[in-house]
Amino acid sequence: MVRKATQQRIGKFNKQDIRELCPALSVSSIEGSLRKLVAEGELRREGRGKSTFYVRLK
């Protein structure tokens, strides 16, 4: 579900953007999915803390 939501995004996006697209998922589920997508090379994480955002690579 998170993978599908990130594929709909163009440019950079943050965790809150994904929460709006997947309201049924918990924050920890979204965070885990984003970590997995970064590890798989589909996303790149930029910034730290509240200023963290993600960029699609594939």
Q: Which domains are delineated in the chain? A: 2-56 (1.10.10)
How far apart, in whole angstroms, are the C-alpha atoms of residue 40 and residue 34? 10
The pLDDT tens digits for 1-58 are 999 999 988 899 999 999 999 999 999 999 999 999 999 999 999 999 999 999 999 8
How far apart, in whole angstroms, are the C-alpha atoms of residue 28 and residue 12? 20
pLDDT of residue 8: 87
How far apart, in whole angstroms, are the C-alpha atoms of residue 49 and residue 42? 21
Prediction pTM value: 0.88
pLDDT of residue 58: 80
pLDDT of residue 5: 93
Query: What is the DSSP-derived secondary structure letter of residue 23?
Result: T
**DSSP H or E run through 55:** strand 53-56
